[in-house]
Amino acid sequence: MVDFGVVKKLASVLRDGDWKVTVTSLVTGAKRLTSDRQGQTLINIEPGDTRKRYFSLAFDIGTTGVRGQLLDLNRGRVLAEGVDYNGQISYGEDIITRIAYCQRPGGLKKLQQAIVATINGMIGKLLAEAKVKVEEVAHMVVAGNTTMVHLFLRLEPKYIRLAPYTPTVSTAPLVRANSVGIELAEHVYVYTLPSVASYVGADIVSGVVGSGVYQRKKLTLYMDIGTNGEIVIGNSEWMVAASCSAGPAFEGGGVRHGMIATDGAIEGFDINPSNFEPAISTMGDTKPKGICGSGLINIVAGLLEAGVISQNGKFNIDLPTKRVRRGSDGYEYVLSWGGETQIGKDIVITEVDIDNLIRAKAAMYAGCQTLVKGVGISCADLEQVIIAGAFGSHIDVEKSITIGLFPDIPRDRFIFIGNGSLLGARLTSFSTDIVDDGGRVAKMITNLELSENVDFMNNYVAALFLPHTNASEFPSAKKRLDKLPK
Amino acid sequence: MVDFGVVKKLASVLRDGDWKVTVTSLVTGAKRLTSDRQGQTLINIEPGDTRKRYFSLAFDIGTTGVRGQLLDLNRGRVLAEGVDYNGQISYGEDIITRIAYCQRPGGLKKLQQAIVATINGMIGKLLAEAKVKVEEVAHMVVAGNTTMVHLFLRLEPKYIRLAPYTPTVSTAPLVRANSVGIELAEHVYVYTLPSVASYVGADIVSGVVGSGVYQRKKLTLYMDIGTNGEIVIGNSEWMVAASCSAGPAFEGGGVRHGMIATDGAIEGFDINPSNFEPAISTMGDTKPKGICGSGLINIVAGLLEAGVISQNGKFNIDLPTKRVRRGSDGYEYVLSWGGETQIGKDIVITEVDIDNLIRAKAAMYAGCQTLVKGVGISCADLEQVIIAGAFGSHIDVEKSITIGLFPDIPRDRFIFIGNGSLLGARLTSFSTDIVDDGGRVAKMITNLELSENVDFMNNYVAALFLPHTNASEFPSAKKRLDKLPK
């Protein structure tokens, strides 16, 4: 097939290029390429030989943060990458609020325009940084949770949150970038990875594809830590997935000085157990601006191990330090004094922040427990734990176990892949084989609905403690904490 | 495949219709339907059962006039039809002028918007007349000459008039009506019939399909009389076609009081040989407004047979009648006095008008002669002559032979089909089999290029006489004219 856009410029391009031209064809899967050449669609024609300039874009649309990469398709390389807040945040921090907002007149349109504006802004920067012209981009691949995909494509999201939680689409059709407002050339199509269910989205399918869980026999736990935490257990033969709404704490949301993982975010944290003074490090080694998700984990674990907070997340107010003080949200700990920060005021962590983190990690861990039990295994059986999430690059396994986010199993089984969703989108952009794999993975994953699962609720309540009300689940953390003066 | 528009409304339509819905699928040919169900694309979904309301539009885009019909696809009937001037006329009366106009900045865009505005206006009237809602139209079929198709789709027409006369496309891809500016529902696609060459367009393919020339063994001459006259000779086994630029006279162009064949056009003409008074009849039996193509033929034949004009088209100025007089363009004959007309002034036919008709009929007849000789037959061998054209419904064979437009062969071989291009578009709209036939016919027709053909030029010059310089070609006309007093 030939796109109308190609036909339109055919006559002039053929002559401009003196009958030598480069055509771009759209191939949506490896199977089509080999068995059915008719499945290809010619989407662009350019005069002369332009094969050396062949680029694409991969995006992960998160509820809080959006991450994008500009890719060189000839060399299989990332040329530039960027991160920005999802412009929809001003309409609501979580998915439920945003779906509700869509029920207002013009609501869906506004949210769609917000995310498109975010992406267009990022595309402009990526292209400028790598000196790639907009017309040299051949396609775009997008992953994201089911709601984000619906909002991006302006599809009715209402039924995502109504039982039986049926999204409008699992496999979104190819759409022209222009038709949804993305400012790329007319011929560019957007491929969206498929999802499994309303709360097991294209981001998790993309992560499974990107991390290769479906290619190996190893029994794997895949955790995608973010506002909408998602968990997969399985291997090349079977996979079960569940979603547990962790809330935005891992992406800096609902945290007084929270921010996404970018320059200025406090990530590293150590505390002097004698005077309770902190030693912090930031991403980009700049003055601190806020706290990212991984920083939050490190800080809470550090405060806990130093006895600054107790296992229920409350401050010990009898310590000889000015850093613990009463603030507007109850007690807080000053991480950095105003004079040393980019924002000109003290950066603190509050009891409310800690409480939000506890609830977030409790949801993730409870989901994990429920799924492990659901498939009839125990955490010790897991041969591999893949941690994905864009909440920071230097997550500390030990500290994550200390707060009860990860199961307390041998440390060498943990693998960190960063943003799994973006990784999968990137690999999909590079290979038509992987496009097929995405569809196969989406069909292969069985969804376990946790929202009305009694086990999950019980596990969640039990996990609202540092590391857990059942200390025997975290023997190594218990050992460390037992050393503290009572 | 499923169109994105269907996906967009899927969730709400399914629920609005309580899970009972009607879908519209796009099938572009009969072969696909039977052998490859994958070839279908779902283009629309509506709540409930809407099968009873299923309509389409067929259009013939002529250089001068545009004709359209609203069709009931359930009953195979025409519900309403209309005709209007092609809005591009103000940019030039013929194809060459319009192609030249496209070379100005924004020229192609303007011409495209002009024809789209004409069609949108007509669609509005057709829908209103038949009380059909715009969203009940399922598809649209368009035929027209190659240039008109290019301008409608905003395709570069430049190369149509540059040797070797290669159009940008012969088979235009399906396009969304909205994408070219046609005001129909988002899901509506426009199917354009294929063309053979730059000057043997989709209109002629449509006419051959509509009249069934390709289905019968009878040796047939198909003449499409219009601004761009086209001629086909052949049968179910072979077909040869040629185009001869007749000029706009048959559609009322270049004629002082010329008009397209619609209400108020003088069509019938008789003349009293003793006092030279006319008896005219008009389309719609209204007061006269102008002269349509068939009227022009009848008038010129009548004036010739009454001796008011001579065989070279000049007025006999010695007759005892006030109707022949000197006007601004030389001599003229008054068909209707101002008091009896809709326009409040005399309707006349001038020597310039007659000259334009002579050149138009000479081009048609010369094309016909050249083609007949080219395939090694004579006019007497023609078993059937199909006359198409929108220049009037009551064309008189006898009079057309008198002026030398049709070959002088037995009258019972002539068949009149009116607008063949619109007929073919209508049948195509009704049946996917006929969609396939259109493609087959376009491939089957061999194009004979007349523009640099010496035989054609000689035949043309010889035909610039009433009926012809070689009187032996028109024995019956000669017999009648010989009776006139010399």
Q: How big is the A-B interface in CB pairs under 8 Å?
A: 56
**A416: amino acid identity, one letter:** F
- Is the per-residue pLDDT at A34 higher than 50? no
Q: What share of chain B is helix, strand, coil (3-state, %, to 5)?
A: 40, 25, 35
Is residue B147 a contact partner of residue B63, using CB atoms and an 8 Å limit?
yes
pLDDT of residue B423: 96
Nearest to A294 by CA among A398, A395, A419: A395
Of A12, A156, A179, the CB nearest to B156: A12
What are the chain B neighbours of A159 within 8 Å (beta carbons)? 11
pLDDT digits (tens, 9 = 90+) for B327-342: 998 999 999 999 999 9
Beta strand residue intervals within A65-135, DSSP E: 65-72, 77-85
Residue A234 parent element (H or E): strand A228-234
From CA A40, how far away is CA A178, in angstroms rounded?
20
| For residues B414-429, average pLDDT | 94
Question: In degrees to the nearest 10, what's the CA dihedral of A93, A94, A96, A100?
Answer: 20
Instruction: Give chain A's length.
Output: 486
Considering only CB atoms, which residues of chain B are within 8 Å of chain A? 1-4, 7-12, 153-156, 158-159, 166, 168-169, 172-173, 175, 179
- Which pTM does this prediction carry? 0.81
- Is the per-residue pLDDT at B31 higher than 90? no
| For residues B256-274, average pLDDT | 93
pLDDT digits (tens, 9 = 90+) for B160-177: 988 888 899 899 888 999
- Is the per-residue pLDDT at B401 higher than 50? yes
What are the chain A neighbours of B173 within 8 Å (beta carbons)? 1-4, 7
Higher pLDDT, A117 or B433: A117
Q: What is the mean pLDDT of chain A?
A: 92
Nearest to B419 by CA among B226, B192, B227: B226
Confidence of residue B36 (pLDDT cuts 50, 70, 90): very low
- Is the per-residue pLDDT at B39 higher than 80? no
**Interface mutation vs chain B, best among A4, A109, A191, most B CBs within 10 Å:** A4
- Report DSSP letters for B441-470, one per residue: HHHHEEE---TT-HHHHHHHHHTSSSS-SS
Our CA angle for A420, A424, A425, nearest 5°, is 115
| For residues B197-209, average pLDDT | 93
Strand partners, B261: none
| For residues A156-185, average pLDDT | 91
- Is the per-residue pLDDT at B32 higher than 70? no
Residue B36's contacts (CB-CB under 8 Å, 6 or more residues apart) are none
pLDDT of residue B107: 96
Of A2, A156, A168, the CB nearest to B173: A2
Comparing A218-232, B133-147, B178-192, the range with the smallest average pLDDT is A218-232
| For residues B478-483, average pLDDT | 87
| For residues B310-321, average pLDDT | 94
pLDDT digits (tens, 9 = 90+) for A91-100: 998 889 999 9
- Which chain A residue lies closest to B153 (C-alpha atoms)? A8
Comparing A212-221, A237-246, B26-35, B303-312, the range with the smallest average pLDDT is B26-35
- Is the per-residue pLDDT at A33 higher than 50? no
Higher pLDDT, B413 or A30: B413
pLDDT of residue B33: 42
At residue A60, what are phi and psi to the nearest 5 degrees? -115, 120
| For residues B15-44, average pLDDT | 76
| For residues B35-47, average pLDDT | 75
From CA B246, how far away is CA B228, in angstroms rounded?
6
**Token pair for A125:** 């920067």
From CA A18, how far away is CA A7, in angstroms rounded?
17
How do beta strands B21-26 and B55-61 pair?
A: unpaired
Is residue A42 a contact partner of residue A74, using CB atoms and an 8 Å limit?
no
pLDDT of residue A70: 98
pLDDT of residue A36: 46
- Is the per-residue pLDDT at A38 higher than 50? yes
Of A3, A7, A172, the CB nearest to B172: A7
- Is the per-residue pLDDT at A229 higher than 90? no
Q: Does B1 sit within 8 Å of A169, measured CB to CB?
A: no
The label of the residue with tokens 């030039």 reads B92
Q: What is the DSSP letter of A174?
A: P
From CA A295, how far away is CA A259, in angstroms rounded?
10
pLDDT of residue B38: 54
pLDDT digits (tens, 9 = 90+) for A367-396: 999 999 999 999 999 999 999 987 656 788
Confidence of residue A486 (pLDDT cuts 50, 70, 90): low
Comparing A306-320, B162-176, B179-193, the range with the smallest average pLDDT is B162-176
pLDDT digits (tens, 9 = 90+) for A256-300: 999 988 899 999 999 999 999 999 999 999 999 999 999 999 999
Asked, as a colleague might, if the bond just before B164 is cis with ω within 30 of 0, I would say: yes
Shortest Cα distance, chain A CAs vs residue B450, angstroms? 24
Is residue B254 a contact partner of residue B308, using CB atoms and an 8 Å limit?
no
pLDDT digits (tens, 9 = 90+) for B218-259: 999 999 988 778 999 999 999 999 998 888 888 888 899 999
**A343: amino acid identity, one letter:** I
**B411: amino acid identity, one letter:** R
What are the chain B neighbours of A166 within 8 Å (beta carbons)? 11
From CA B148, how far away is CA A224, in angstroms rounded?
57
Comparing A23-27, A99-103, A471-475, B369-373, the range with the smallest average pLDDT is A23-27
pLDDT digits (tens, 9 = 90+) for A415-459: 999 899 999 999 999 998 898 899 999 999 999 988 889 999 999
Q: Does A175 sit within 8 Å of B4, measured CB to CB?
A: yes
Nearest to A251 by CA among A224, A223, A227: A227
Shortest Cα distance, chain A CAs vs residue B69, angstroms? 26
Q: What is the mean pLDDT of chain B?
A: 92
